Amino acid sequence: MSKLEELKKSLLYNSVHDIWFAICEEKGWHWFDLAALKKFIQFLKANSIQIRMLPVCPTGTGEKAEFAKKISALLGDPNKSFVIRTDDANIVKVRSFKK
């Protein structure tokens, strides 16, 4: 089972950073590529993938947690978490992203 499928199976909505890490793992990309991440966020918005803001801070420690905070900052607020619905249609769209 792919990482995106695992996310879909566990929750209906998943954080943008978890989806980013999953798509990078599936495609063999480095998740810390900030330029690619910016393109990914633009891609989400351009493809009508609704991004919802939650009033909670991204949590965790380490490099991935710090990167998650950068993602939140790019989406508008480093003190909030951002999620998208991980349904079949959105997963197909996410998988079509190219750096």
What is the value of pTM for the model shown? 0.90
Closest CA to 81 of 93, 95, 65: 65
Res 27 pLDDT > 90: yes
Listed as own residue / partner, the contacts of 65-72 with beta carbons closer than 8 Å and 24 or more positions apart are 67/17, 67/31, 67/32, 68/15, 68/17, 70/34, 70/37, 71/16, 71/17, 71/20, 71/37, 71/41, 72/17
> What average pLDDT does the structure give for the chain?
91
Which is more confident, 62 or 39? 39
Q: Is residue 50 over pLDDT 90?
A: yes
Give residue 20's pLDDT: 96
Q: What is the model's pLDDT at position 12? A: 93
